[in-house]
Amino acid sequence: MSDLESFRAETRSWLEKNAPSELRQKATDPDAIVWGGRRPTYVYPQSKRWLDVMRERGWTAPTWPKEYGGGGLSKVEAKVLAEEIFRLEMPPPLYGFGLQMIGPTLLQYGTEEQRTEHIPRIVRGEIRWCQGYSEPNAGSDLASLQTRAVRDGDHFVVNGQKVWTSYGNFSDWMFLLVRTDPDVKKQSGITFILLDLETEGVSVKPIKLISGASPFCETFFQDVRISVENVVSEINAGWTVAKALLGHERSMIGSVFGAGRRAKKRTDVLVETARRTLGEREGRIQDDVQRDRVAELLIDQACFELTVQRSHDGAKAGQKPGPESSIFKVYGTELNQRRHEAMQSMRGPSAVGWEGPGFSEEDLQQTRDWLRSRGNTIEGGTSEVQLNIIAKRVLGLPD
């Protein structure tokens, strides 16, 4: 038995013993997502146990170094672990911007002190992170951000405002971009810094969306003092760090609409909605016009998933990463919107429901999801920005 095979066997038996059976089959259940933080919540009580056993082994971040509490697994081992978790259809033990975004960034750009302070707490889910990038006047043109940080001894004093902070009201720390030099080219005067949101002068206010939900916040800074030790990389070198992180965010958002179980579920929901609302004969959607539209969407979905797969396969085969993140972002989000528009059409008069009575829970949720989907092509870099990136970086078209 090879090392990898024995690793698989051990992992499997360990999971069989330690993965709470109540969470199995819940891989895509949004309620099974655990965000951690100082005030953690668990919809399913077993989620806490699942986090506990996994973080003990560092398996919330399987490939991160052991010295910072990570799993220390090789890529192939981590893949085996993922497959075994997938086999049981377990949800991930922990999720969030700490694991997905700031953790890898600190491993790449952080000081030893920063890593020692933050990485273990991310791995253990003790701190929930959020992102402070956009501002009211710095959307697509992010580099024009105006939140000022003025040096005062060993501290920066920060004044300004951030918007579109996902779950800012539930988070403990924020990584943010501040302007430390207003007199140079806009990209050159930006610093990437870390902030404990319990610091004096920070206030957070949720933003209500057209869908009725409030997943984002505005964050205001009034004379907030941050130690210079919290600067990641150099002062005024924040744009480089931010760009690395943005590419990561784009693929995250794109891949959410891409392959895997979520995509499968989305496919099923579309077909089921068509059958339910338009009628079926032996499973065949009755309305030929809408059936054609469903097929068109699912062909595009298949092409998109295959492109995500091709990108992964290419990366594994050592090909240089291409413009995938922009492609995935622009296409994945628009595809999701087209899917929601199609389902609204299929649902007919039932698509106008906001609250009961007279509308099913499913109808109400689909209406809100449709409205939410309109934001997909705006957040994380608008479609227009992605198309600009493709035109410039891939096609080499002139400015």
Distance CA 353, CA 358 (A): 8
Shortest distance (Å) from residue 180 CB to another protein: 21
Q: Is the CB of 201 or the CB of 212 nearer to another protein?
A: 212
Told to check if 272 binds its own copies by CB under 8 A, we report no
Closest CA to 383 of 311, 339, 337, 334: 334
Looking only at the bridges linking them, the beta strands covering 129-132 and 173-179 are parallel
Rg of the chain over Cα atoms, rounded to whole angstroms, equals 23
Any contact of residue 317 with its own copies (CB under 8 A)?
no
Environment class of 137 (CB within 10 Å of its CB; exposed 0-12, middle 13-18, buried 19+): exposed
Q: How far is the CB of 384 from another protein (least distance, A)?
A: 6
Residue 164 binding: pick among another protein, its own copies, none (C-beta 5-8 Å cut-off by kind) = another protein
| Of positions 31, 67, 141, 292, contacts its own copies by CB under 8 A | 292
- Distance (Å, rounded) from C-alpha 338 to C-alpha 213? 21
Burial class (CB in 10 A: 0-12, 13-18, 19+), 141: exposed
For residue 349, state whether it binds another protein (rule: CB under 8 A): yes
Closer residue to its own copies (CB): 146 or 290: 290
For another protein, the binding residue among 2, 185, 198, 289 (CB under 8 A) is 289
Question: Which among 98-106, 176-184, 225-233, 271-279 is the span making contact with another protein, rule CB under 8 A?
Answer: 271-279
Q: Is the peptide bond before 357 cis (omega within 30 degrees of 0)?
A: yes
From CA 395, how far away is CA 397, in angstroms rounded? 5
Q: By C-beta, is 242 or 294 nearer to its own copies?
A: 294
**Residue 82 CB, nearest approach to another protein (Å):** 18
Residue 184 interface partner, choices another protein, its own copies, none, CB cut-off 5-8 Å depending on type: none
Query: Contacts with its own copies in 84-123 (CB under 8 A)?
Result: none
Helix, strand, or coil (residue 360): coil
d(CA 347, CA 277): 6
Binding mask 182-221 for another protein (x = CB under 8 A): -------------------------xxxx-x---------
Sole binder of another protein in the list 81, 167, 359, 381 (CB under 8 A): 359
If one asks whether residue 399 binds its own copies (CB under 8 A), the answer comes out as no
Interface residue with its own copies among 1, 289, 317, 395 (CB under 8 A) is 289
- State the residue for tokens 């002068």: 201
Q: CA 30, CA 22: separation in Å to the nearest integer?
A: 15
Name the pairing type of β-strands 190-196 and 280-281: unpaired
Q: Which residues bind its own copies (CB under 8 A)?
A: 287-289, 292
